[in-house]
Amino acid sequence: MSERNLETICVQAGWEPGKGEPRVLPIYQSTTFKYDTSEQMGRLFDLEDAGYFYTRLANPTNDYVAKKICELEGGVAAMLTSSGQAANYYAVFNICECGDHVIMSSSIYGGTFNLVTCTMKKMGIECTVIDPDCTEEELNAAFRDNTKCVLAESISNPNLIILDFEKFAKAAHAHNVPLIVDNTFPTPINCRPIEFGADIVTHSTTKYMDGHALTVGGCIVDSGNFEWSKYPDKFPGLTTPDDSYHGLTYTEKFGKLAYITKATSQLMRDLGSIQAPQNAFLLNVGLETLHLRMPKHCENALSVAKFLKSQERVAWVRYPGLEDDPYHDLAKKYMPNGTCGVICFGIKGGRAASEKVMDALKMIAIVTHVADARTCVLHPASHTHRQMTDEQLEAAGISPDLIRLSVGIENADDIIADLKQALAE
């Protein structure tokens, strides 16, 4: 079935009912699952049999939706998490522990930056933050003996830097560690990171995948390509016995499914960031139109970006779809059908001028969100990235005047009309 086109996968994959079963994905609204014998249930706890027993670890509704995202990304296994934050946390923590080190792109979502550089640091995991436009030599120099992964975004939120997949995958693999790519912004409709060397793909499904600002959620997809067992000393969590499962070794028992099985049966069991099945159901409805919405977001964003560029009061515009954008060539290489609906721009006069234009918008709302059907704006320096120092903001490529405009799927003329009146204020 892996030969199906993306549009068909969006609509049909995941829940594929048999005779007499519901046409639509059922919500398994149950915390628990029944067995006939104590022995049957015991085998589940030993991971000897596959099956559901408690929704803190896994739930069928979630798994059908994860299966759809897995097929969209071209992976071998996937899991849903309660949020994108949980997805990135689990993706890294599944292979890192106290005393380990990760390399992370400086152009990354503010929440991920805090997670890795503050919270995971308290857990004893060190991080080297690297400019995504660094040279190969600089990137290679960042690796240490205890480095366990490289983390970056395919299109960075908010500053829209397109990842040089080739450079990052090559460096990660030369140092025997996986490349983890957060693919939230382009979604698999516009970019499939596994095709370009990513080993693990993460998502905040809260954004385009849900698409309607209904539910917070996340997803982790494993390509199955990284050979953990080749580097047993580097990834002991996967390649040596897990005491919490009577000495089972994930790579031996589960092969290509080792990484996701460990994340589910160990991290989800112990940390419990499961997505509610109700939310997974809503996410699945969103996914059914992802292939229709993404091109519309991109088409509208390009029109709006061109309009902004023509405006006297606008100091600068960044949109990788614009031909003179510094990341246009990388965008063409890795996402030829389009990037995403997000634009960044600044107003002449700096921070205060940008905030004034935002306040004058009527239809376009100021919300802490991005990548849903309704056009919205946010000022990263005073909102999502508020905890960063000016130096950190600069390193992350976020200027104080930067307005993040998430272009929705309304009529582009109406979005432009609202911007026009706000700029005329």
* Total number of residues that touch ligand PLP (CB under 6 A): 16
Q: Shortest CA distance to 181 belongs to which of 147, 137, 221, 140?
A: 221
Give the separation between CA 258 and CA 251, rounded to whole angstroms. Answer: 5
8 Å CB contact between 128 and 395? no
User: Roughly what angle, to the nearest 10 degrees, separates helices 412-424 and 351-359?
Assistant: 120
Minimum Å gap between C-beta 93 and ligand PLP is 15
Nearer to ligand PLP, 239 or 406 (CB): 406
Minimum Å gap between C-beta 359 and ligand PLP is 24
8 Å CB contact between 301 and 407? yes
Nearer to ligand PLP, 184 or 354 (CB): 184
Which residues, other chains included, contact 406 with Cβ-Cβ below 8 Å and sequence gap of 6+?
Answer: 341, 342, 369, 370, 371, 372, 375, 376, 377, 378
Backbone torsions φ then ψ of 244, nearest 5 degrees: -80, 0
> Counting contacts by CB under 6 A, is residue 117 touching ligand PLP?
no
Binding residues among 305-334 for ligand PLP as defined by CB under 6 A: none
Nearer to ligand PLP, 85 or 261 (CB): 85
Contact region for ligand PLP (CB under 6 A) — 123-131, 202-210, 313-321, 385-393?
202-210
Minimum Å gap between C-beta 40 and ligand PLP is 36
The 10 Å Cβ neighbour count of residue 32 is 9
> Counting contacts by CB under 6 A, is residue 218 touching ligand PLP?
yes
Binding residues among 151-190 for ligand PLP as defined by CB under 6 A: 153, 157, 182, 184
Minimum Å gap between C-beta 423 and ligand PLP is 27
**Residue ranges of E strands in 97-246:** 101-105, 126-130, 147-153, 179-182, 200-204, 218-222
> Counting contacts by CB under 6 A, is residue 335 touching ligand PLP?
no
Minimum Å gap between C-beta 216 and ligand PLP is 5
Nearer to ligand PLP, 112 or 190 (CB): 112
Pairing verdict, β 403-406 and 342-347: antiparallel
Backbone torsions φ then ψ of 149, nearest 5 degrees: -170, 165
Nearer to ligand PLP, 204 or 339 (CB): 204
Binding site for ligand PLP (CB under 6 A): 83-85, 88, 109, 111-112, 153, 157, 182, 184, 204, 206-207, 216, 218
